[in-house]
Structure 1
Amino acid sequence: MAQLCLLTSLVIILPGVFSAATFTFINKCDHTVWPGILSNAGISALPTTGFSLRKGESKSINAPSSWGGRFWGRTHCTEDSAGKFTCVTGDCGSGKLECAGGGAAPPATLAEFTLDGAGGMDFFDVSLVDGYNLPMVVVPQGGTGPNCTNTGCLVDLNGPCPSQLKVTSTDGEGVACKSACEEFGKAEYCCSGAYGTPDTCKPSSYSLVFKKNCPRAYSYAYDDQTSTFTCAGSADYLISFCPGPSTSQKSSSGAQTPATPEFNSTMVSGAQTPATPEFNSTMVYEGAMDVSSASSRPTCMHVFRPQAVAGAVAIVAALWWWCQLF
């Protein structure tokens, strides 16, 4: 009876103990940000799908093995007398603080993740494909690999946004920057129809505004080689809204290493986009195009995250003791 009790308990508990990652959000903006969260299709929602972060506040959320989805920041949010919650940018349409299955209304800066994906690696990116509303940087903490590094957009693009794409508040302040696809709806900007392949869909003058200012962020649908990042092993992730230029990366050894100079610098029109080490990228966000061949993908396996093992051992020991009572 004791052995059966222990086995049943392990089946229930251990899948949730191993392979978890922690996402820590910090608001460095001079105003409140309301992060939203959407899990990919077929993936269970995280414990919260929306919350508020006042200036200087932070919040951590644990995600289970193989979770995938996106994060973004909502801005200029209000609640009316009837309790309906709405935001000028990034609104998820739920009418509430929690997004409850709704995605971000464009334009919005997105951080996109697939944990324990192909080859047991985490895949992540910061995307401006659906436009831009806030500076955002993702910093892996722990993890290994040449592509396990910071990504995102340090620059406030709401000011220099092209006039055709600019979204303004009622007082005329620039609050977001649309994508050319959203504004004009043309296939050449949306990478659709005759432009639906990497060979036919090229950067536009509008997407290059994003790329030159935020060289590590996705600027259009096929911007893979300089914009998708991977971490092997155990990694947690720090997601900063309105980060300063001193953002640093914590290596797997625990030491702080400064962000690369080309990432800290403000890229201006005409600047060179720094190259990113080559790798076989698989697009990881919901609705994205897979640009790698199925036959070239590594066998998918799960990575056991070491920080979870000690807790698992303690739980197993406690369960064994408890089961002896039966």
Structure 2
Amino acid sequence: MARTGCNFDGSGRGRCQTGDCNGLLQCQGYGTPPNTLAEYALNQFNNLDFFDISLVDGFNVPMVALLSYGLPVGAITLAPCTELISIVCNSGNCGPTDLSRFFKTRCPDAYSYPKDDQTSTFTCPGGTNYDVIFCP
């Protein structure tokens, strides 16, 4: 999860402008929206890893996910966006909205609403190496 504008003291207490985790340096759950998420489920069905970049809880920084099979041979880049808009439908039971379509046209590989799996969830063989890069 991406967080911005953070300031913490020596005991790990503080605040972030986006993605705040109840004032904790080490999140115990999801941060406060808006936040861009990289989501991974490793070594799942048929020894596959599942991953996505999610904008369901909003967008706060551009992010790319790069992968390789042992050596950095190739990469899939999930297109970053530049708008800061929070998506209001994150209950898991709704379809695309005008706001999620706005994101989808700008970030076609990003997860933009709950159940947006067909165009936004990717798989790789278990044991794949990943880099998540927060873009300036």
Residues 1:206 and 1:80: Cα distance change in structure 2 (over 3 Å): same
Following superposition, the deviation at residue 102 of structure 1 comes to: 2.9
- Do the aligned partners of 2:42 and 2:126 also contact (CA within 8 Å) in 1? no
SS of the aligned residue for 1:152 comes to: coil
Q: CA deviation at 1:222?
A: 1.7
How far off its partner does 1:234 sit?
3.1
Distance 1:122 1:150, change over 3 A: same
Under a length normalisation based on structure 2, what TM-score does the superposition of the two structures give?
A: 0.85
2:26 pairs, out of 84, 98, 104, with 98
Give the distance between the partners of 2:11 and 2:41, measured in 1 at CA: 37
TM, length-normalised to structure 1: 0.38
Q: 1:136 aligns with which of 59, 63, 66?
A: 63
Aligned equivalents of 2:80, 2:67: Cα separation in 1: 16
Structure 2 counterpart of 1:230, from 115, 123, 128: 123
**Greater relative CO, 1 or 2 (CA 8 Å, sep 6+):** 2
In 2, Cα distance between the equivalents of 1:233 and 1:180? 33
Superposition deviation, residue 207 in structure 1:
0.5
1:111 to 32, 38, 46: 38
CA 141–84 in structure 1, closer or farther in 2 if over 3 Å, else same: same
Question: Is the Cα–Cα contact under 8 Å of residues 151 and 217 in structure 1 kept in the other structure?
Answer: no
Say whether 1:150 aligns with 2:76.
yes
Does the CA contact (< 8 Å) of 1:125 and 1:151 recur in 2?
no
* d(CA) in 2 for partners of 1:81, 1:123: 36
Q: Secondary structure at the match of 2:100?
A: helix
Counterpart residue type for residue 157 of structure 1: E
AA partner of residue 34 (structure 2): P
Q: Contact 1:149/1:229 (CA < 8 Å) preserved in 2?
A: no
Aligned to 2:107: 214
- What RMSD, in angstroms, separates the aligned Cα atoms of the two structures? 2.4
C-alpha distance in structure 2 between counterparts of 1:80 and 1:123, whole Å: 36
Q: Give distance in 1, aligned partners of 2:3 and 2:103.
A: 20
Unaligned runs of 5+ in 1: 1-71, 159-176, 183-189, 244-326
Distance 2:12 2:80 in 1: 34
> Which position in structure 1 is the counterpart of 2:17?
88
